[in-house]
Amino acid sequence: MSSITLIGTGNMARTIGTLAVAGGNTVEVMGRDQSKADDLAKALGGGGATTGKWGAVPAGDIVITALLYDGVVPVVAEYGDALEGKVIVDISNPFNATFDGLAHSEETSIAQEVAKVAPASASVVKAFNTIFRNVLEKGRPNVFIAGDNAQAKAGVAAFIESLGLRPLDVGGLKMAHWLEGVGVVTMGLAGNGVGHWDFALGVNEFTG
């Protein structure tokens, strides 16, 4: 069982929060709009969800920033020292305006930029960004994770397993750049070859 805090009250916070409560985890919700945080915590139910004050030290060891990509770095910077020792999970997708590339031109990622503004004692893990919300709700997709701290990744992997999903480590935090690129590919598939949102990219193993 993990103790997690969701920063954000949107659809992804709701979906991950619902799975987290069902998986027996302790869940805290933080929103800039306290009433939205209260509503979401109530909706998650299960007696497992509480709310915390925006900007305060999160109760969870794992802090998931369920925010639009351009909000993640500013919010982590705003929380500042409140995130000391925390595992910060960035789930965002920095798509460009045409959804066929990344919003940042340099070879970086939101997760790497988060690591630059987070306290030195915090660890950053990229996860969940390659999965459409509806697939997370209804399916059993693989969850790719990237990060530099093995212990932090092990904690996030255990949390993902509690959701009934398979975590797959893809390497260090710089791999977050490539995971964000994979998010772009899923958008391209949805708009072209697949033609809908009810799919996920995953590992298909066979006997060699």
- Is 205 an interacting residue with respect to another protein (CB under 8 A)? yes
Q: Which is nearer to another protein, 120 or 204 (CB)?
A: 204
Residues numbered 9 to 68 that lie near another protein (CB under 8 A) are none
Q: In what order do the strands lie in the sheet with 3-7?
A: 49-51, 26-30, 3-7, 62-65, 87-90, 123-127, 142-147, 166-171
95 secondary structure, DSSP code = B
Q: Given candidates 10, 55, 101, 119, which one binds another protein under the rule CB under 8 A?
A: 101
C-alpha–C-alpha distance, residues 17 and 6, integer Å: 7
- Is 154 an interacting residue with respect to another protein (CB under 8 A)? no
Q: Which stretch binds another protein (CB under 8 A): 61-69, 72-80, 116-124, 193-201?
A: 193-201
Q: Which stretch binds another protein (CB under 8 A): 4-12, 58-66, 110-118, 141-149?
A: 141-149
Q: Are 122 and 171 in contact (CB under 8 A)?
A: no
Q: Are 156 and 4 in contact (CB under 8 A)?
A: no
Residue 102's DSSP bridge partners are 95
Residues that bind another protein (CB under 8 A): 98, 100-102, 134-135, 138-139, 141, 144, 146, 167-171, 175, 177-182, 184-185, 188-189, 191-194, 198-208
